[in-house]
Structure 1
Amino acid sequence: MEPAPDQPTRDLRGPALGAAAWAGALLVLAMPASAALGVGGGLLAAGVWLGWHRPALRLTLVVWAVVASATAGSAALRAEETSAGPVPALAAQRAAVDVRLTVTSDPVPLVQRFGGGVRFAATLVEVHHGAGAARLRAHVLVVADESWHSVELGSSITTTGRLCTSSDPETAAVFTPRGSPGQVEPPGPLWRAAAVLRGGVREAVAGRAAPQRDLVPALVDGDDAGLPEQVQADFRTAGLTHLTAVSGTNLTLIVGFLLLVGRGVGVRGRWQVVLAVLGIVGFVLVARTEPSVVRAAAMGAVALLGFGSGGRDRGPRALGLAVFVLLLVQPWLAVQVGFALSVLATAGILLIAPGWTKALSRWMPHWLAAALAVPAAAQLTCTPLVAAISGQVSLVAVLANLLAEPFVAPATIAGLLGGLLMLVSHPLGIAVGWIAAGCGAAIIAIARSTAGLATPALDWGAGPVALVLLTVVCVVGGMLTGPLLARRGPTLVFSAGLVVVMLVPRPTPGWPPDGWVMTMCDVGQGDGLVLNAGAGTAVVVDAGPDPVLMDRCLDRLDVRRVPLVVLSHFHADHVDGLSGVYAGRQVAAVEVTGLGEPAERVAMVQRLAAGKARVALYRQTLHIGAVTLQVLGPVPGVERHGTAADEGSGPNNASVVLLAEVAGVRILLPGDVEPEAQRVLERTLPGLRVDVLKVPHHGSRYQETDWLTSLGARLALVSVGADNDYGHPAADLMAALAAAGMDVRRTDQDGDIVVVARPGGGLAVSTRR
C-alpha cells in the first residue's frame, strides 16, 4: 500500500482573519443586542485568557479583535442607517413625498399576484415632504407599474410617490411611485456601454432556439431573464446553479481568458495585473454592481490568485482579506446564503482541491485529476449549508459539473466574443453566438439528464442534529478522502457504488398501498394528481411545474399507461411537468381548457401532444377503467372573471373542473377556480357532496369558504410548495376546513398523499416524503 502524499502545513491565518470578521458582523446582525453583548464578552474573555497563557498568540488575538470590532462597527452603522433617519420615519407614516432617486438594479417583472408592474433597487438622494427637504443616501425598494419597465440602471429620476415600511432590514423603505417616471437623467457612459454589451450578447444568440439562447447571457453576465423555470429546476437538482447566477466561475473564465489573450500579445509583469483589474471592473459593470456581483467578483479574483504561481499560500490569505473587506463595505453579506456558499466553495477549492488533485494524479492524468478534485472539494465544503437550505445532499453535483465543464468555458467565452463582435460585424457575432448556443444546449442536456437520474439526491433533513452529524461526516470525510484517492482500487470501487446508487431506483416496498384510488404528487408549488384506473394505468390531472418530480411520482406508482391527461389550465405550475408524464409511458389523449392563455404554454402542450390536445367538453362524462369523470366546468361565461388582489385571472377561472369517482370514492378536482367561478359552480351544482376535496388554487385565501365547507368532504388535500412566497395555504382557510370536520393534508408537510378506499366505505390516507 502506497502512503498518501505528504502535505505541508497550511498557513490558516488568512481564513482565521476572515472568520473573525464574519463573527463580528454576525454578532450585530444575527443576534439580539443582549445576546450579542454576552457572546462578545465571552469571546473577549476567552481571548484574554488565551493571550495570557500563550504569549506568542497575543498579537494575532489583538488583530482578530480589531478586525471583528471593525466589521461589528460597520454592521451597527449600516443597521442604524436603515432604521433611523427621515426615510424610515416617513415610511412609518406612509407619507407622500417628492424624491430624486438613482436606479441601482435592473427592473424585474412582478409576479401576477401583485397585479403586474416591476420592482428594482434604488438609492434616494433627495426627499421632499411638506415644507421640509433632506439630502441623504437611503436604500429603498421601488415597486412601480409597468410604465417603469424600461428605466435604466444608473439613471436618476425625479418623481412623486408614497413611502412604506420595509420588512427587509437592508432597505430603509419601500417606495411606490405615482404614475409613470417623471424627469429622467440617463445613465453615464460606462453604464450605457455595459448595457450595449449585454444587449449584444443576447442579440448574438437571438436566432437560436430556447432555452439555449437564454442560457448564454446567464453564463456570461448572470442575465437569466427568460430562462424557463424547468431549466432552472434542473440546474438546482444537478448542482449547476452557480453557472446561471453571477458567480466566481463567470469572472474566473472571462478574466482568465482576457489574461491569456494579453499574454499572447505580449502583456507581461505588472501590466497583467492592470489587465486583470480592468477585466474585473468591466465584469462588475456588465453584470451590475449589486452586492452579489461584487461578492462573486471578489471570490473569482481570489480563485484566480490561488491558481497562479505561489497560489497555495497567497490564495488562502487573499480569501481571508477578501471576506474582511467585503464585510467591512457591505456587512449585510454576513447573513446571506449566497455569500456563505461562495466563501465555502472558494475555501474548498483553495484548501482541499490541491491535495486531492495531487493524490489523484498518482494514477491519472493531472488535468483529469484537477477536473475531478475542484468541483468535488467545492461540493464537500458547501454540503452542510446546502442541506440546511434544501434538506437534501446532492449525489449528482460532481458528475454534472464534470460533464458540463468542457462546455462551460467555450459557451461563456464565445458568448462574450459574440456580444463584442455584434458591435462591429453582425455576421461574425451571429457565427460565434452559434458556437456559444451549441455549448449551452449541451449544458442544458447534461443538467436535464443528471437531474433525471433515479437518485440525484438523498433526503437528509435540516434539523440541528442532522446538520451537526452531516458536518462531522464532511469534516471526517475531507480528512480521509486524500489517502483514499491516492489508491486506484478503493477510489474506483467507491465511485462505482455511487453510480449504482444514482442509477438504480430505490425500492419502495408497500407503495402504493393496496386499494389506492388517488395520489396527490408532491411536485412543489403546483398540481400533479393521479387517479388509479387499474393495472398500471392511471388518469393524470395536471402535471405540476417539474417533469422530473412528476415522472418519479408516476414511477413510484408503477404507472405505465396514461389513457388521459387533463390539464385544468395553462399556467406553468400545472403544465410544465407534462413531459415527465410522457417519459417512458403511453399517453393516449390530452384534454385542456378552452382558454388558450398563456400562448407559449399552449404551444408547448400541443407540441408534446403532437397537435392532438382537445378541449374538454362541458358536462361530458368519461369512463376510463375504474375511473369515471364528469366535466363540471368551466361553466360557460365565467372564463374571463378574475380577482385583481391575487393571481385571479381568466386562466384560473377557466380551469377544467372534474368530479371523479374511483371505487365509490367521489373526488372534486376544481383546478385553480377562484370565488367568481366557485359561486357559479355553487349555483349550478346545488347539493353537491363529495368524499375528497382538492382545495382550489393551492389554498389561496381567496375562496368561497361556505361553499367548500358545504361539500361534506372527509378529506381536504392541498398541493403546495414548501416556503412558497404566495402565502399558500391560508391559515384561516385551513382552520375553516378542519372545523367543518375535514382531515386536511398538505404536500409541503406530508409529501405524496395517497387516498385509500377501505372495505365498507371507509377512507384512509398514506403519505410518503
Structure 2
Amino acid sequence: MICWTSPASEAASLSNSENSRRSRIVLPRQDFRLVPLACCALVGTWVGIGQIGKGFIWGSGLVVAGAALALLAIVVRVPRLWIVVHGAILVASVGVGICQVAVAHPSALVTVSGQASRLIIDGTVTSRPHPSLTPWGETQCSANVSVARFVGEGQTAQYPHTKVAIVSLPCGVIPGQNVRIEGRPIETEPRQEVAFRMVPHETQVSGTGRASERIVAKIDDGMGQVLDGAPQHAQGLIPGVALGDDSRVSSVLADAMKLTGLTHLIAVSGGHISIVIAITLAIVGRRHSAIAASLCAVALVGLVLLVGPHPSVIRAVGMSVVLLAAMSVGRGTGAVPALCIAIIATSWVFPYIAMGYGFWLSAAATAGIVTVGSPLAEMLAVWMPRGLAEAIAIPLAAQLACVPILMLFSEEGSVWAVAANALVAPVVAPLTIAGLIVALAAPLPLASLALIPATMATWWIDVVARSFAAAPGSGIPLLWSGVVCFAMLAALVAFRGAMLAARVAVALGCWWAWTFVVGRPAGAPEDWAAIQCDVGQGSALIARNEAGATIMMDVGPEGPSAARCLSSAGIRELDLLILSHAHSDHIGGLPEVMSEVDIAEVWLSPNPDPADNTEWVERQLDASGIPYRSVRAGETFQNFLEILWPITPNQREGEANAQSLAAYIDVSGGLLVLSDMTADSQERLAPHIGHVPIVIMAHHGSADQSSQLAANASPDFTFISVGENSYGHPAPAALDLYSDSQVFDTLTCGPIAITAEGNIESRCDETP
C-alpha cells in the first residue's frame, strides 16, 4: 500500500515545542491498491474500442504484456491472485470494448451507410441538441438518435441500441421525441459512439419527449427569459457554471478561459456534487446514515437529469455513489479507491465516455487534487490561511495532472493558470448556488434577485480570464506552462524538506514522463516556408518566399488563434492577406490579425455572400486604411502565388464555397490551397491541375471532394485544417481519396510547418 504519511521519527522529534507542533504535517492516508485495476480497465477498454482492429501488433502487445506480468510475478513474488485479478480485468475490458463496437457499429448498417447516397431513419432522440454556429452565421443543432428502423439500398432493419448523429435538427427537439429523417450518411470510425453521421434533407418530428426532459426544457426557457438583457458574460457563464451549458459563452471568452485553465468552471463536476450533497445533509442531517445517503442519491439523480450525463458528471456521480454506499452502512472510504471504482464502472458501463478526453481530464484532475493537492494544502496551511493554501494547492495540483492529457490536443498554455484559478475560486460556489436558483426559480422574482450576485461573479471571472489571457506569459507552449507549475510545486515543497519532495516526485514523475513523450514546445522551425495554422474548425495558412515576401490565406474563426500563429512564426508584417470567402471560420480572426501585424493589401473573393460578413470585413479594413479588392483566376503576386479559382466569377447567393478563392503557392515544390471549394468547382478546376507535392484539402476534409482533382494532383502530402466539429470532418471518403499521400490534420497534429527543403514538422510523425 502506498500512502501519504509523515515518518514517525520525524513526528516524534518535532512534538516537544509549539514551533515544532506548527511544523508537523500529518498527511492524509490514501489507499492506492485499486489504481492498477483502474488502469487495466481503461487500457483494456481503449484497446477494445479503438485499437483491436489493428490486428497482430496489438495482439502481440497484449501477449508480451501478459508475459511481462507473469515474469514480474515470479521475480518479485507477487501473489498469483494479484496477476489473475488484473489479467481478468484487462481481458474483460477488452471484451467490453469489442462488444460495444459491435453494438455501436453493426456491420450491415456500416456497409449500407458506406454505399448508400440516401437513407431513411426512424428513431428516437437520445441526447439534447447541441447548438453551433455555421460558417455562414446560422445556428444549427446536432443530436444523437437511436435507430428504431432504417431503410436503404433495398434493406430494412432495426438496431435499437445503435446511435447515429444527425448534423442538423430543429433546436427545439428534446430527448424522447420520435423522428423520421431522410438524408445522406457520412461514415465514422469505430472509436466514435455513433455508427455514422447524417445530413438530413427532410426531417419529421413527432411525440412529446420524456417528461423529465420537458421539465428541463421549461427550466431552460425560463432561465433564458431571466437572462435576457443581462451582460454577455452573465448570459454565458451563469448557465455554464451552474448547469454545464457552455453554448451561450462567447468564443472570445471561451478561448480566454481555455488558455488560462478556467474551462473546468463551465463543466459540471465534483464541485456541484459537493454543493448538492452538502445542502441535502444540512437539511436531513447525518443521524440516520442510510436515509441520508438515500436522499443524497435522489438529489444526485435530480442533478443529473437537470444537467445531463456529461463525462465529468459521470465521473463525479460514480465516486459519489461509492462514498454514499459506504456512508449508508456506516463505513468510510478513501477518495482514491472511490475514483478507481468509478473509473472501472464507467469503462464497463459507458465505455465511449471513458475513452473521451473530458473523462480523462476529470479523472486526472481529481487524482491530482486528492494525491497532491490535499497534502500540499495541509503543508501550506502551516504558514498561511487555510483558504489561501487551498486556493493555491488545488489548482496547481489539478493543472499538473491535466497537462499530459492536454498535450494530446492543445498547444498553448499560460503561466497564469494557477493564479487565475486562485482569484476566481471565492466566487465559484456562490455563483453555482445563485445560478441554480436562477434556473429553478425562473421566472419568479427570486430568480431576478439571485441574478444580481451571479452577474457580479461572472463579471469577475470574465475580467480575470481576459486579463490573464492577454498578459505576457499566456499563449506560450503548453509544455513550458506545465514546467512553470512544476517549478512552483518544487519551490513549495522545498520548505518541507527532502522527504515530502521525494513523495511528490514519485507521485508525478511517471505521469509527467508522458508529457515529454507526446509534447514539445510549440513554435515554427526557423527555416519554415509555409505553416498550416491550428485555428480549430477553420483555416489559416501563412507562407513566405526566399525574398522574404510573406502572405496569409484566411484568418480562421473568431479569436486569437491565427494571430498567435503569426506571432509564433515571427511575422510582424504581411505583404498580402487573402480572404478566400466570407464565411466566419475563414474571416473571424481578422481583428486580432490586424492588431498583431501590419497588412499591406487584402484580396477578397468576387462573391460577397454572405453579404453581412463581407460588409463587416470591409468596415474593418476601411477603419484601418488597408486597401482591398476582389480577384479572380489569373491574378498573381510576385511570381510567388497565383489565384486559380474562380475562373468565372458570379455573385449569386449560396455560392460562397463554390466561388471561394483557390491558389497555387510556389514553396517547397508547390502548394495547392483549395479553401472551401465544392466538388463541382473542383471538377471544373481539375483539368488545369497536374502533380502538386502538397495539397490543402478542400472544406476541412468534408466528403464533398473531386476524385478527378485528387488523382490529377496526386500529392505527396495532404493537409487538413480542421477542429472539433459536428459535421464529420474529416470524412472517411475524403481521406480515402488522398490515401496515397501522407495526411496531416491540425486537430491531431496541431500546426503543420513545411520547411524550405520540403520537410514536414508537426507533433505527428515528421518527414526526415
1:208 alignment partner, SS class: coil
Deviating more after overlay: 581-590 vs 627-636: 627-636
CA distance in 2 between counterparts of 1:693 and 1:522 reads 16
Match status 1:571 vs 2:583: yes
Distance of aligned partners of 1:531 and 1:292 in 2 relative to their CA distance in 1, 3 Å threshold: closer
The aligned runs of 1:624-663 (5 Å cut-off) are 638-640=650-652, 649-655=654-660
Q: Gaps spanning 5+ residues in structure 2: where?
A: 1-18, 502-520, 764-768
Deviations 1:49-108 (A, max 9, x none): 599776xx96x7776677667656655654554567997798799799998644220234
Query: Which of 237, 250, 255 is the equivalent residue of 2:259?
Result: 237
1:15 is displaced (CA, Å) by 3.7
Q: Which amino acid aligns with 1:241?
A: T
Distance of aligned partners of 1:374 and 1:343 in 2 relative to their CA distance in 1, 3 Å threshold: same
1:13 alignment partner, SS class: coil
1:370 is displaced (CA, Å) by 0.6
Q: Is residue 96–residue 161 contact of structure 1 (8 Å, CA) maintained in 2? A: yes
The aligned runs of 1:215-614 (5 Å cut-off) are 215-253=237-275, 255=276, 258-259=279-280, 263=282, 267=285, 269-270=287-288, 273-289=293-309, 293-299=313-319, 314-390=334-410, 395-425=415-445, 428-430=446-448, 432-433=450-451, 435-452=453-470, 453-454=472-473, 456-458=475-477, 483-484=493-494, 486=496, 523=535, 526-528=538-540, 542-545=554-557, 547-555=559-567, 567-583=579-595, 597-598=609-610, 601=613, 605=617, 608=620
1:715 is displaced (CA, Å) by 13
1:352 is displaced (CA, Å) by 1.4
CA distance in 2 between counterparts of 1:339 and 1:390 reads 16
Q: Which amino acid aligns with 2:263?
A: T
Match status 1:143 vs 2:166: yes
Q: Which amino acid aligns with 1:346?
A: T
1:365 is displaced (CA, Å) by 1.8
Distance of aligned partners of 1:7 and 1:703 in 2 relative to their CA distance in 1, 3 Å threshold: closer
The aligned runs of 1:76-115 (5 Å cut-off) are 78=100, 81-82=103-104, 101-108=123-130
Q: Is residue 149–residue 158 contact of structure 2 (8 Å, CA) maintained in 1? A: yes
Deviations 1:258-298 (A, max 9, x none): 44xx63x6755446545532332122101224666433433
CA distance in 1 between counterparts of 2:108 and 2:684 reads 50
Q: Is residue 431–residue 454 contact of structure 2 (8 Å, CA) maintained in 1? A: yes
1:329 is displaced (CA, Å) by 2.6
CA distance in 2 between counterparts of 1:98 and 1:702 reads 21
CA distance in 2 between counterparts of 1:96 and 1:696 reads 23
Q: Is residue 349–residue 378 contact of structure 1 (8 Å, CA) maintained in 2? A: yes
1:652 alignment partner, SS class: coil
Q: Which residue of 2 aligns with 1:500?
A: none
Distance of aligned partners of 1:282 and 1:538 in 2 relative to their CA distance in 1, 3 Å threshold: same
Q: Which amino acid aligns with 2:375?
A: G
CA distance in 2 between counterparts of 1:737 and 1:128 reads 35
Distance of aligned partners of 1:319 and 1:615 in 2 relative to their CA distance in 1, 3 Å threshold: same
CA distance in 2 between counterparts of 1:71 and 1:510 reads 42
1:420 is displaced (CA, Å) by 2.0
1:400 alignment partner, SS class: helix
Q: Is residue 284–residue 293 contact of structure 1 (8 Å, CA) maintained in 2? A: yes
Deviating more after overlay: 563-572 vs 278-287: 563-572
Q: Which amino acid aligns with 2:403?
A: T
Deviations 1:402-447 (A, max 9, x none): 334344334433322222232323xx53453454355335434444
Q: Is residue 118–residue 149 contact of structure 1 (8 Å, CA) maintained in 2? A: yes
Q: Is residue 418–residue 432 contact of structure 1 (8 Å, CA) maintained in 2? A: yes
Q: Is residue 555–residue 587 contact of structure 2 (8 Å, CA) maintained in 1? A: yes
CA distance in 1 between counterparts of 2:643 and 2:156 reads 62
1:650 is displaced (CA, Å) by 1.9
Query: Which of 129, 144, 149 is the equivalent residue of 1:121?
Result: 144
Q: Which residue of 2 aligns with 1:646?
A: none
Distance of aligned partners of 1:242 and 1:586 in 2 relative to their CA distance in 1, 3 Å threshold: same
1:153 is displaced (CA, Å) by 0.9
Query: Which of 224, 230, 240 is the equivalent residue of 1:202?
Result: 224
1:388 is displaced (CA, Å) by 3.7
Q: Which amino acid aligns with 1:720?
A: S
1:616 is displaced (CA, Å) by 2.5
Deviations 1:214-242 (A, max 9, x none): 34323222323354545444433333332
Distance of aligned partners of 1:168 and 1:228 in 2 relative to their CA distance in 1, 3 Å threshold: farther
Q: Is residue 629–residue 659 contact of structure 1 (8 Å, CA) maintained in 2? A: yes
Distance of aligned partners of 1:280 and 1:509 in 2 relative to their CA distance in 1, 3 Å threshold: closer
Distance of aligned partners of 1:476 and 1:117 in 2 relative to their CA distance in 1, 3 Å threshold: closer
Q: Is residue 567–residue 590 contact of structure 1 (8 Å, CA) maintained in 2? A: yes
Q: Which residue of 1 aligns with 2:63?
A: 38
Distance of aligned partners of 1:737 and 1:154 in 2 relative to their CA distance in 1, 3 Å threshold: closer
CA distance in 1 between counterparts of 2:722 and 2:76 reads 51
Distance of aligned partners of 1:194 and 1:78 in 2 relative to their CA distance in 1, 3 Å threshold: same
Q: Gaps spanning 5+ residues in structure 1: where?
A: 462-469, 492-505, 642-648, 739-743, 757-762
Q: Is residue 159–residue 181 contact of structure 1 (8 Å, CA) maintained in 2? A: yes
1:575 is displaced (CA, Å) by 1.7
CA distance in 1 between counterparts of 2:417 and 2:679 reads 44
2:407 alignment partner, SS class: helix
Distance of aligned partners of 1:574 and 1:97 in 2 relative to their CA distance in 1, 3 Å threshold: closer
Deviating more after overlay: 72-81 vs 210-219: 72-81
Q: Which amino acid aligns with 2:586?
A: H
Deviating more after overlay: 90-99 vs 650-659: 90-99
CA distance in 2 between counterparts of 1:558 and 1:130 reads 54
CA distance in 2 between counterparts of 1:83 and 1:691 reads 36
Q: Which residue of 1 aligns with 2:209?
A: 187
Q: Which residue of 1 aligns with 2:729?
A: 726
Q: Which amino acid aligns with 2:556?
A: G
Q: Which residue of 2 aligns with 1:499?
A: none
- Count of residues paired in the alignment: 705
Deviations 1:335-370 (A, max 9, x none): 333323222221111121111112222322211111
Q: Which amino acid aligns with 1:650?
A: E
Q: Alpha carbon RMSD of aligned pairs, Å?
A: 6.3
Q: Is residue 195–residue 286 contact of structure 1 (8 Å, CA) maintained in 2? A: no
1:550 alignment partner, SS class: helix
CA distance in 1 between counterparts of 2:396 and 2:100 reads 37
CA distance in 1 between counterparts of 2:251 and 2:110 reads 36
Distance of aligned partners of 1:618 and 1:555 in 2 relative to their CA distance in 1, 3 Å threshold: closer
Deviations 1:662-682 (A, max 9, x none): 9xx999988545566678899
Q: Share of identical aligned residues, percent? A: 25
Q: Is residue 512–residue 557 contact of structure 1 (8 Å, CA) maintained in 2? A: no
Deviations 1:118-143 (A, max 9, x none): 64323456789999999974132153
CA distance in 1 between counterparts of 2:120 and 2:525 reads 66
1:650 alignment partner, SS class: coil
CA distance in 2 between counterparts of 1:25 and 1:620 reads 51
Deviations 1:137-183 (A, max 9, x none): 4132153764x553311335578999998643675845969875668
1:583 alignment partner, SS class: helix
Q: Which amino acid aligns with 1:483?
A: V
